[in-house]
Amino acid sequence: MAGVTTCIKYSMFIFNFFFWLCGILILGLAIWIRVSRSEIEFPDDYNTSYNTSANILIGVGTIIVILGFLGFCGTLRESRCMLLTFFIGLLLVLLVQMVAGILGVTYKFQYEHVLNETLYKNVDLLTEAGEKAKLLQKSLIIFQKKYKCCGLIDGASDWGTNFLQNSESCECSDMTDSACETYEGKLVYKRACIGLIKEFIRKHITMVIGITFGEAAVEVFGLIFSMVLFCRIGNKLI
């Protein structure tokens, strides 16, 4: 019996070490995903499920780091109270992650339709001068510079009369590059940004889903180990 309990304790030590590392990894990746998402912060009714999933993962990562430390201490001291707290906390985290994962999966299937609708609806803002228009223009300029594209749907022409004052982010440096074309006296990228925006979001959503369900599988083992150890320590005290 003692040998079994010792084996479970060592298993819990190893689990909590990797669990703690996973928490740090999730926290770091979720923050990166959330920050990089701001590169394409479009106005109006753009779906918020993506941001919600990333924010939930930030909270989950923070809690996992704390729970990993709590589980380690509970195992070291053979504290049933700490182990029970660890079990309940881990179960709640697992449930929250399932919500985040479901949001991510749901958004993955509907994002293209929503994104198309939003971009086609807002493309005219590139030719306007209001505050709402400036928000979209600023986001697109950042995206164009980083991903070497121009315009939202149809290329440089999407900018209309605002093209010349915002053309720098569209400009190619190589006149022989087949990806470039001349528009209003400027050498610019032919490719519109809509395809790249879709790929950008698809990649990040897949990452969120992978992190969520991968960590959930690890947490199931943590629940099993902690409850078995909790019961073993209880039997020793009887």
> So what's the pLDDT on residue 41?
53
190 contacts: CB under 8 Å, gap ≥ 6:
150, 155, 179, 180, 181
Lowest mean pLDDT among 48-57, 86-95, 96-105: 48-57
Which one is predicted more confidently, 82 or 53? Answer: 82
Model confidence at 109, pLDDT cuts 50, 70, 90, reads low
| Domain boundaries of the chain, sorted by first residue | 2-237
Distance CA 123, CA 112 (A): 16
Mean pLDDT of the chain: 78
CA–CA separation, 31 vs 20, rounded Å? Answer: 17
CA angle 56/67/79 to nearest 5° reads 155
For 176, phi then psi, to 5°, come to: -90, -5
